[in-house]
Amino acid sequence: MASKPPVAVYDACVLYPFHLRNVLVQCGFDGLVDARWTDDIHAEWIRNLAIGSPEIPISRLEATRDRMKEVLPDADVGNHQFLIPDLSLPDPDDRHVLAAAIAGKASVIVTWNLKDFQPRTFGLMGWPAYRQTISSWASIPSFRAH
């Protein structure tokens, strides 16, 4: 019997780079991970990419988001905003990601931002935050099983 893939919230910083975004969506599509995100996470990577690469029309970025939602229709986490006021992180603007992880029953947050998602915080909750690297992903038991 195959193990269930880990439920992973993708932080905006890992959805910002084109190739990484494609790999992460493909991992979700292929069932290697049960991907999760929110409209707030999408808005953040789109806003930051529009600032960093103003030559890319926002309409193109929004079309990319829409296609991601079509490919992974179960990835959207709703009803997480009510959790935000009770959460504490070094950067309060990142609480929406943690709220999405809690509401989406995630076992991992895929992020580069370990400064604000400190491992000790997640250790208290019983799950880690992983940097998005192949070696880190390979350390997750569900990934080793595939």
CATH number where 17 lies = 3.40.50
Its domain, for residue 124, covers 7-144
Please state, in angstroms and rounded to a whole number, the distance separating the CA atoms of residues 109 and 106: 7
Residue 59: inside a domain: yes
**Claim: this prediction has a pTM higher than 0.85:** no
Residue 137: inside a domain: yes
Residue 79 tokens, joined: 């009803």
**Choice between 48 and 121, residue whose per-residue pLDDT is larger:** 48
The beta-strand segments (E) located in 49-138 are: 108-111, 129-131
**Of the candidates 103, 102, 145, the residue with the CA atom closest to the CA atom of residue 126:** 102
Residue 24: inside a domain: yes
Q: Examine the pLDDT at 146 and tell me if it is beyond 90.
A: no
Count of domains observed in the chain = 1
Return the number of other C-beta atoms located less than 10 Å from residue 139's C-beta: 12
Q: Which of 94-98, 114-118, 123-127, 142-146 has the highest mean pLDDT?
A: 94-98
Residue 1: inside a domain: no
Residue 11: inside a domain: yes
Residue 93: inside a domain: yes
Question: Model confidence over 28-80: pLDDT tens digits?
Answer: 999 999 999 999 999 999 999 999 999 999 999 999 999 999 999 999 999 99
User: Three-state SS for 82?
Assistant: helix
Residue 74: inside a domain: yes
Residue 2: inside a domain: no
Cβ atoms of residues 110 and 130 within 8 Å: yes
For the chain, give the percent of residues with pLDDT over 70: 79
